[in-house]
Amino acid sequence: MNTADQLDELLESRLRQTRRPVEPFTAVIFGASGDLTSRKLIPALYHLALEKQLPNPYRIIGFARREKSDDGWRQELREALGHFSRTQPVNENVWNEFAKNLVYCQADISDSAGYTKLKAILESFPDPRLQTNLLYYLATQPSQFGEVAAHLSAASLLHKENDTYADRLVIEKPFGHDLASARELNADLVRHCHERQIFRIDHYLGKETVQNILMFRFSNGIFERLWNRDAIDHVQITISEKLGVGSRAGYYEEAGAMRDMVQNHLLQVLSLVAMEPPVSLEPENIRDEKVKLLKSIRPMSPAQVLENVVRGQYFAGEVDGEARPAYRSEPKVKPNSHVETFTAMRLFIDNWRWHGVPFYLRTGKNLPLSASEVRIQFKPAPNILFAARQDANLDPNSLTLRLQPNEGIILRFNGKIPGTATELRPVRMRFSYDSEFGAYTPEAYERLLLEAIAGDATLFIRRDEVETAWSIVDAIRNAWAGKALSNREFYAAGTWGPTAAEDLMARDGREWRNPQPQKE
């Protein structure tokens, strides 16, 4: 059996598995009175219970400073579920059984007495597995991650010497704000637990369509044979957002699009699209290949950054007929701010597969459409047969992976228009997740929480991956430091970005292919 057959067999085996089994556990949510808990975490856990994916028994402890009773916390969460559950109405029988497993621990994150109280609650559970198979979800400020880990370790609730995944920390992005702070955060955490116990969550990796990138690539020989410099002209990855910065303007003044989107979401998608086949589907083998890919991205000098990376900022305009203010008019934004709300870049990957193939990445706020997609543009066919025809409407073949919304895959090729004349036109072959598999697609947090409970780190980000991504972003931000935006870097809200982004593609004789509203 050759390597390709072995990989196909491994993939098929993985696909046959409905889900990695989970053992009885206790999840402790720090920051349990916050927005993330009520909007995402509890709805996700409720839906896992609804789908009968949780083991028996289990417990969920909310750890927060506000004074509440168990019943009071449960009532708050039930009201929130009425707004945020993806299935309505809420199944009251399932909720009532689920709510019995919710326990509230009123305590301050910075007070060691709170961890003593938490330990007493855990020790009161009758099943010993509920006391030892522990998942700590840190839905707190990133500045508190190290503090929580230190208190858990001091209270003997987090065991670094443990050689299993029994004690696990789940932390939310941002994982630092640059390479130095990311390294500092990672160093703080590994003082109290092993790297293998840390699950860095990026909700983008929980999306079904993002996960499908690997399955699509490595289980379909017809495309894997074309997935290289010989057949592909270039790759475009777009994550566009219809909304402006809104209430996040204060955060955005510190982060910008580069920190907010490129360092995590865009580079994550790039790594899955371009990585080499892993030797197996074990978590570390997949994560190894993602890191290798990121380390293969060609470094840029400050002068090369200015040539290959564009930033932009929106001014007043309209989106779907709705007036949108300029970024500089948003609350908490400096009137002379040069923070980017849009960025586009050309990257090269210096390895055998991708030598010479440019990857164009872009993301922005207040664009015409919210969409995420990957477009693989193949090299054009020789035009010898049709060169004499002035009406020949040839278009390079392309494959578009639509990650959201209207998730699916579109293959674009040339076909003859019916009739007596020999006329060509680009046509599309479309696969829709909704049509093929039905409307049910689990929310990202459902999949990610279940994988964390099971101790499967495949969909989580490793320390070296975080630090490599930050090294790429830091080089770009350092090149921008102290430089004002030019006129060609501003764009009207409701357009597809600044003129400078069009220039980036035009210099290579290419153009952006903008996501289209469905149906195309």
Query: 21: pLDDT confidence band, cut at 50, 70 and 90?
Result: confident
* Percent of the chain with pLDDT strictly greater than 70: 91
Amino acid letter for position 31? G
Q: Residue 349: which of 360, 338, 365, 339 has the closest Cα? A: 360
CB of 317 within 8 A of CB of 495? yes
**44 token code pair:** 């996700």
Report the pLDDT averaged over residues 331-352. Answer: 95
Report the pLDDT averaged over residues 111-126. Answer: 95
CA–CA distance, 291 with 388 (Å, rounded to integer): 48
pLDDT tens profile 146-185: 999 999 999 999 988 765 557 999 998 889 899 999 999 9
CA–CA distance, 64 with 35 (Å, rounded to integer): 12
Which of 122-131, 330-339, 441-450 shows the lowest mean pLDDT across its residues?
441-450
Decide if pLDDT at 438 tops 80.
Answer: no
Query: 18: pLDDT confidence band, cut at 50, 70 and 90?
Result: very low
Decide if pLDDT at 466 tops 50.
Answer: yes
Which of 330-339, 404-413, 419-428, 504-513 shows the lowest mean pLDDT across its residues?
419-428
Report the pLDDT averaged over residues 80-87. Answer: 90
Amino acid letter for position 404? Q
**504 token code pair:** 């980036």
Distances (CA, A) of 7 to 10, 280, 281, 371, 462: 5, 7, 9, 31, 23
Q: Which domains does the chain have, with CATH numbers?
A: 20-201 (3.40.50.720), 206-373+458-506 (3.30.360.10)
CA–CA distance, 111 with 151 (Å, rounded to integer): 8
Report the pLDDT averaged over residues 39-64. Answer: 95
Amino acid letter for position 477? R
Is residue 47 annotated as a catalytic residue, yes or no?
no
Q: Is the dihedral of CA 490, 493, 499, 505 positive or negative?
A: positive
**190 token code pair:** 């590994």
pLDDT tens profile 192-213: 999 999 999 988 888 888 888 9
Decide if pLDDT at 80 tops 80.
Answer: yes
Residue 343, H or E segment = strand 342-348
Catalytic residue among 159, 203, 234, 265: 265
Cβ contacts of residue 358 below 8 Å, gap of 6+?
234, 235, 346, 347, 348, 508
Q: Cis peptide leading into 426, omega within 30 of 0? A: no
CB of 104 within 8 A of CB of 60? no
Rg of the Cα trace of the chain? 25
**72 token code pair:** 């009071």
Say what the pLDDT of residue 76 is. Answer: 95
Report the pLDDT averaged over residues 449-476. Answer: 94
